[in-house]
Amino acid sequence: EEYAELTSAIAEAPGVDLWLCETMSSVLEAEASTIACRKANPDIPVWVAFVLRRSSEAGRVELVDGTPLVDAVKFAKKYGIEALLFNCSTPQLIGDALAALKGEPTDGLLLGGYGNFWEEHKPGWSIDQQESEPGKGDTKASGLQVRDITVEDYVCSTRRWACSGARILGGCCGIGPDHIRAMAAAFAKPS
């Protein structure tokens, strides 16, 4: 109901050319948001971005609810999603997810990612366990900013993503204008 209310209001606004359902935690949530988008205006393309985690079993990358990545691809194909993205996750997780999908048939589905500056969340983590607050300067785990990711490191990560098939690149929490400028400059030059 909430997605339907939001999408019906947005669909009436002038200039809406894309639905971006981002920070999705499960295929079920993405399905609900996609259905609402299609109902509000089926002519607008839908992009879906999922949050990732590393499983406690074998360190495999999966959706934050434990769903395998291949199921996200199946969902995207079933609903005619134009782009399957990963966001609000570390650059390493996004890179590992895109690399894992490299051999999967994606049938023209655009892939991409926009990473954040935070540590990987462990299975079972929830937002109420967030320990870091702006200005606190604390060093606890489970949700702190990773301060050693430089602009150059982030650009290097996005190049890795592109080598794994990503065509849509950007930044999420903690990634700022300097990162985006450097990415734009790096991708403007031939590799």
Binding-site residues, in ranges, read 88, 172-173
Binding-site residues for Zn(2+), in ranges, read 88, 172-173
Angstrom distance (rounded) from CA 68 to CA 174: 27
User: ∠ CA(100), CA(69), CA(26), 5° rounding?
Assistant: 150
Q: What are 133's two structure tokens?
A: 């607050």
Helices (DSSP H) in 12-150: which residue ranges?
27-40, 69-78, 91-101
User: CA of 8: how far to CAs of 1, 15, 91, in Å?
Assistant: 11, 14, 33
Closest CA to 166 of 74, 61, 56, 87: 87
